[in-house]
Amino acid sequence: MPRDRRGFWVMLCAVTFHPATRLAARRRFGGLEHVPAEGPALVVCNHISYLDPIYTAVFVHHRGRVPRFLAKASLWSLPVIGRMLAGAEQIPVYRGSTEATESLRAAEQALDEGKLVLIYPEGTISRDPEHWPMHARTGIARLALARDVPVVPTVHWGTHRVYDHYHKRFRPLPRKEVVVRAGPPVELSAYRGRRVDSALLREVTDLVMGRVREVLAEVRGEPPPATFFTPGRRGDGEQAS
C-alpha cells in the first residue's frame, strides 16, 4: 500500500495541534497498537466535544498516520480551517443532499489508496446526559462492509470537560486529563457476503458502536448503558436501541 503523503498543510496541522493538545489538557493515549501502522483502516469514534478531532488527529499521528476525517461540509467555508481541511485532504460530508453519497465514495477511495479514515457516526456531539454514544448513522456500516479493512473502535474522554459546546464553556484550568484509547478491531467476517439491506446496516452499526461504548466504559471505569440514546424519540431523556 502507498504510504500517507505528507505536505505543507499536514505539517501545519501537526505543528499546531500537537502543542495545542498539550496546553489544553494532560493527554493520556492508549491502545495505539490497535491502529495499523500502515495500510487502510477505518477508525470509528465517539463524539463528546468539538475538541475530539484535534485529539484524534494527534493520537493517530503518534502512530505515524495522517488522518482523513469525514467532517461537515460547512467547515470548508471557514476562512482558515477550510483551507487546512482541503489542503490536508479531509472529506466533506454533505448531509441531506444529493451529494451525500459522494462522501462515502471519497472515503472508499481513500481506503483503496491505503489511507486511514476517521468517522464520528453519531453525526454530532452526543446529547446523552451522561455522554455515552448516541444512536448512530449507518454510513459507518456501509463503509465497513464495502471494504474489508480493520475497523478500530476509538474513544475520547475528558474533552467535554475542557470545552462543553452545548453550555459554551471553555475551561482548560484547572488542568484536566483527556484520554484517547483504541480497542481491538471489530470482527465483521460473519457479516461480509450477506445482502446489504437496512436491517444489516443497522445491525453492523450497532455492533461497531457497541464496541466503542465498551471501550469507553473501560476508560470511565463504569458499566455502559444497554441501549443508545436517541434525541427527540420518546423524549430526550429516554433511550432507544
CA distances 93 to 36, 96, 223, Å, are: 25, 10, 33
Q: Quick: pLDDT tens for 25-50.
A: 999 999 999 999 999 999 999 999 99
Average pLDDT over residues 209-236: 88
CA distances 85 to 21, 39, 79, 101, 144, Å, are: 18, 22, 10, 19, 24
In the three-class reduction of DSSP (H, G, I as helix; E, B as strand; rest coil), residue 26 is classed as: strand
Question: Do residues 138 and 159 touch, judged by C-beta distance below 8 A?
Answer: no
Model-wide pTM > 0.95: no
What residue ranges define each of the domains in the chain, with the CATH number in brackets?
8-221 (3.40.1130.10)
Give the number of residues written for the chain: 241
Q: Quick: pLDDT tens for 81-129.
A: 666 666 667 777 776 655 667 788 888 999 999 999 999 999 889 999 9
Greatest pairwise CA separation for the chain in angstroms: 52
Distance CA 65, CA 46 (A): 20
**Angle of the 100-112 helix axis to the 139-146 helix axis, nearest 10:** 30
DSSP β-ladder status, 228-229 and 239-240: antiparallel
The per-residue DSSP string of 43-84 comes to: EEE--S-TTHHHHHHHHHHTTT--EEEEEEGGGGGSHHHHHH
